[in-house]
Amino acid sequence: MEFTKTSTGRPSGECYVEFATKEDQQKAMLKDHQHIGKRYVEAFEVQAEELDKVMQRKAVRERTRGKGFVRLKGLPFDCTKEGVEKFFEGRYRL
């Protein structure tokens, strides 16, 4: 899981979540427009290439082959890894 920051180093309200399988990623997309705290969260399917660009490293592609990714947008600015894990708890392997 990678939280992104603005150019000033503040939380952007976005993170990239890696799932163990494409099937888990597809199930995770059902969480689109659900809430973490008072904020509704948007979920977007992304390709490994987008994650490569965000993380600025090519090694991600090999490590992520066959896995699925979801970008969460609209996270509360104080959201933590634990908050995202709780959001997806139960049916998904992160």
Q: Per-domain residue ranges for the chain?
A: 2-87
The lowest-confidence range among 23-37, 54-68, 76-90 is: 54-68
Q: What is the CA radius of gyration of the chain?
A: 13
Please state, in angstroms and rounded to a whole number, the distance separating the CA atoms of residues 50 and 33: 21
pTM: 0.60
Q: How confident is the model at residue 18 (pLDDT cuts 50, 70, 90)?
A: confident
Average pLDDT, the chain: 84
Question: How confident is the model over 42-62, as pLDDT tens digits?
Answer: 999 988 888 777 776 435 555
Contacts of 63 (CB under 8 A, 6+ apart): none
